[in-house]
Amino acid sequence: MTRSRRRQQRGGTASTRLLKTYVARHWRALAGAAASTVALTAAELAAPWPLKLAIDQLIGGRGARFELTAPDYALLLGLGALVLLIALVDALATFYSSFWLNRAGERIVHELRVATYAHLQRLSLAFHASRPKGDLVARVTGDVNAVGDLFAQTIGTLASAGLILLGMFTVTFLIDPFLAFVAFLVTPLLFATTLHYQRRIKLMARQQRAREGEIASMATEALSAMHVVKAFGTESFEQDRVQSRSAERLVAGVEVSRVEARFSALVDVLGSAATALVLGLGVLSVAGGRISPGDLVVVVAYTNRLYRPLRDIAKQASRAARAFARLDRIAEVLASDVMLHDRPSSGPSPARSGGRVQLVDVTFRYVPDRAVLDGVTLSVEPGSQLAIVGESGAGKSTVGALVARFYDPTAGSILLDGRDARDMPLSWVRDQVGVLLQDTILFSGTVLDNIAYGSPMDLDAVEEAARAAGAFPFISQLPDGFHTVLGPGGLGLSGGQRQRIGIARVLMRNPPILVLDEPTTGLDADSEAKVMVGLSRLAEGRTTILITHSIALARTADRVAVLADGRVIEHDVPEVLLDQDSVFRRLSRVQAQPAGITGGAASIRAPRRPLSRLAERS
Ligand code: ATP
């Protein structure tokens, strides 16, 4: 069995389980809808009966002209009332079954969306790094809605169509078994074809949805990196990529429509053939005295209507197939278990960390066959600063990600205050380690929201953090100060300003341990100087792991670790390394070259100042 087939099957059973959960949770609404559906079926079955009774009791066998007696009038009145009653039951049952089903559908959409989104939040970076965003968004939005429709429309229609078919068969059978047999001759045939096509439609719908997910991913990526697209002039390339996926989606969509249309046509033809047969044979039955003319009216009316529920079943079955394809996609996300778990041994949250960080023989692999870190051992004393330098791809950011517990090491361990980080509650670790990346991501909302992100909202504390981060002056010049609404991704602010907001955000959390991942890279000298003011305040008294390409910045740390190919090749006080024939010294020399387009303005002879005093540079 292929892996994709196995995954499909796993998705299939998971989606059935998921469906059962929601059916069980909303059984009251579904039971109410089922009761209404039974009433609706009764009304549908009763619809031709007033006419049958009128023909058999009032009209039949009385010749061309006849007088109505008093009991006839009473019966006529009764029949009129019956017609009204049937219509009333029909209307009420339709209302309640549709309302209850729709309400259950809406609630299920809400619960499923919340559950899926919450699960996506819990899934680790390893999961998110391997999944296109747009596809996940499509699952949380479109796919979830389709599952709601399954409840709101498909299940009700299928149940009522099935019941009506059964009822029609029973009544027709009681009237004339032979006619019932003829009228329902087509049904097994249709069920067999429905099942056959349902499978095909589900498969095509899955492909269709996969293409839609790809389109959403590509569009999300390209639209959120529009400046790269413009810079490289790749508008038509991006357009072509989406166009070709859309064309594939079109082919799948047309194929689904073709199969569905074929279904409808087949059902219509078979339904008419059955009606013609029943009419002919029915008249023979009336002539033979086996059934009354009224009975024939009922049977023909049923046969005439027979194809409506059958068509409903065919149509809804393909809808259900599509909804199940989408449910599979949701179930697949919900079944993903790529997350960091608290070990059962994690006790209650300890107090604030003292700030000692140790990496003990840490090996880490993003993918099984390549160790990005290989036996890394490092130790950072409380309140001290460790700079990690090395060539691009050496594994520096990975060290930071492991300390922040974005990932767990493949082998070895990360110790905080001497205890394995995996033995501590994940939320505690996140509270202890503040992370500042090269580019601070801001969310849509006000400056205030962005600084208080993840911390209790307190305007005074936010202002204080902004002052310490050196962000206060520019924030107060914004049109609405702290209440200025930022565009998506912090649009309207410079890189340095975003970074200072990022520093204020970390300050709000007041973590004892910091991971600063190239916090000033990409900034001009002026912005860098301003960001340094904030960084120096941030680093005060905190254990700081500073990942940087800037040797000048690295020299401000208490110790420097040089990484190469995932191994620590040097680890010492910066001055000691500079006095030796070390890689750090060589890197230092390279950066001390006169600044050309490749940059590198820091001098080897630049005096060493602690990070907390670097602000003085500005
Ligand atoms: P830079 O200075 O360029 O930021 P770095 O030293 O910080 O580089 P890392 O980002 O830690 O290096 O990456 C180390 C190696 O791990 C690189 O070869 C990179 O290709 C690989 N890597 C990083 N992230 C992932 C990921 N999510 N999946 C697979 N491989 C990854």
| Mean pLDDT, 10 residues at a time, the chain of 618 residues | 50 74 86 89 91 86 75 90 95 91 88 92 87 86 86 82 88 90 78 72 80 85 80 85 90 84 76 84 90 90 78 76 86 84 68 93 92 95 94 93 92 94 88 86 85 86 88 90 80 82 89 89 74 81 92 90 94 93 88 49 41 44
**Ligand 1 pocket test target in 363, 365, 372 with most atoms within 8 Å of CB:** 372
Domain count along the chain: 2
Q: Is residue 566 part of a domain?
A: yes
Output the CA 567–ligand 1 centroid distance in Å.
13
Which atom of ligand 1 lies closest to the CA of 129?
27
Same domain, 318 and 379: no
Which atom of ligand 1 lies closest to the CA of 563?
6
What is the structure's pLDDT at 592?
66
Q: Is residue 464 part of a domain?
A: no
545 burial type by CB count under 10 A (0-12 exposed, 13-18 middle, 19+ buried): buried
What is the structure's pLDDT at 608?
44
- What residues make up the domain containing 282? 15-61+68-335
What is the structure's pLDDT at 6?
52
Which atom of ligand 1 lies closest to the CA of 566?
14
**Ligand 1 pocket test target in 338, 362, 366 with most atoms within 8 Å of CB:** 366
Which of these three, 335, 365, 382, is where a domain ends?
335
Same domain, 395 and 429: yes
**Ligand 1 pocket test target in 398, 545, 565, 569 with most atoms within 8 Å of CB:** 398
Report whether residue 148 contacts ligand 1, using a CB cutoff of 6 Å.
no
Which atom of ligand 1 lies closest to the CA of 518?
4
Measured CA distances, 552 to 35, 379, 392, 595 (Å) = 77, 22, 17, 14
Structure tokens belonging to residue 113: 């969306």
Same domain, 271 and 378: no
Report whether residue 385 contacts ligand 1, using a CB cutoff of 6 Å.
no
Instruction: Find the CATH number of the domain harbouring 320.
Output: 1.20.1560.10
**Residue of the CA atom closest to atom 3 of ligand 1:** 392
**Angle (deg, nearest 10), helices 293-335 and 235-287:** 150
Sequence-ordered list of residues with C-beta below 8 angstroms from that of 171, at least 6 positions apart, any chain: 45, 298, 302
Report whether residue 129 contacts ligand 1, using a CB cutoff of 6 Å.
yes
**Using CA atoms, how far apart are residues 516 and 535, in angstroms rounded to an integer?**
9
Same domain, 574 and 609: yes
DSSP run (H or E) holding 562:
strand 559-564
Q: Is residue 457 part of a domain?
A: no
Q: Is residue 1 part of a domain?
A: no
**Using CA atoms, how far apart are residues 153 and 101, in angstroms rounded to an integer?**
7
State whether residue 120 is helix, strand or coil: helix
Report whether residue 368 contacts ligand 1, using a CB cutoff of 6 Å.
no
Number of H helices, E strands in the chain: 23, 12
Same domain, 322 and 384: no
Note whether 151 and 108 are within 8 A (CB): yes
**Using CA atoms, how far apart are residues 427 and 436, in angstroms rounded to an integer?**
18
Note whether 219 and 135 are within 8 A (CB): no
- HEC string of 396-428 equals HHHHHHHHCCCCCCCEEEEEECCEEHHHCCHHH
Q: Which residue has tokens 């699960």?
A: 119
What is the structure's pLDDT at 490?
64
Note whether 298 and 169 are within 8 A (CB): no
What is the C-alpha radius of gyration for the chain, rounded to an integer number of angstroms? 36
Output the CA 288–ligand 1 centroid distance in Å.
88
Same domain, 284 and 431: no
Instruction: Find the CATH number of the domain harbouring 424.
Output: 3.40.50.300
Report whether residue 399 contacts ligand 1, using a CB cutoff of 6 Å.
no
Q: Which residue has tokens 């099984």?
A: 368
Same domain, 315 and 167: yes
Output the CA 281–ligand 1 centroid distance in Å.
79
State whether residue 575 is helix, strand or coil: helix
Report whether residue 388 contacts ligand 1, using a CB cutoff of 6 Å.
no
Report whether residue 366 contacts ligand 1, using a CB cutoff of 6 Å.
yes
**Residue of the CA atom closest to atom 10 of ligand 1:** 397
Q: Is residue 482 part of a domain?
A: no
Q: Is residue 331 part of a domain?
A: yes
Output the CA 232–ligand 1 centroid distance in Å.
24
Output the CA 300–ligand 1 centroid distance in Å.
73
Output the CA 393–ligand 1 centroid distance in Å.
5
Closest CA to 123 of 397, 318, 407, 393: 407
DSSP run (H or E) holding 572:
strand 567-572
Structure tokens belonging to residue 21: 């959960």
- Chain-centre distance of CA 600, in angstroms? 44
**Residue of the CA atom closest to atom 25 of ligand 1:** 366
Same domain, 288 and 385: no
Same domain, 311 and 376: no
Residue-level length of the chain:
618
Which of these three, 287, 304, 335, is where a domain ends?
335
**Using CA atoms, how far apart are residues 183 and 170, in angstroms rounded to an integer?**
12
Total-model pTM: 0.71
Same domain, 362 and 258: no
Note whether 388 and 561 are within 8 A (CB): yes
What is the structure's pLDDT at 491?
66
What is the structure's pLDDT at 347?
62
Q: Is residue 324 part of a domain?
A: yes
**Residue of the CA atom closest to atom 28 of ligand 1:** 366
Note whether 360 and 412 are within 8 A (CB): yes
Closest CA to 480 of 470, 492, 465: 492
Same domain, 96 and 172: yes
Q: Is residue 516 part of a domain?
A: yes
Which atom of ligand 1 lies closest to the CA of 367?
29
Same domain, 321 and 395: no
Which atom of ligand 1 lies closest to the CA of 398?
11
**Using CA atoms, how far apart are residues 225 and 219, in angstroms rounded to an integer?**
10
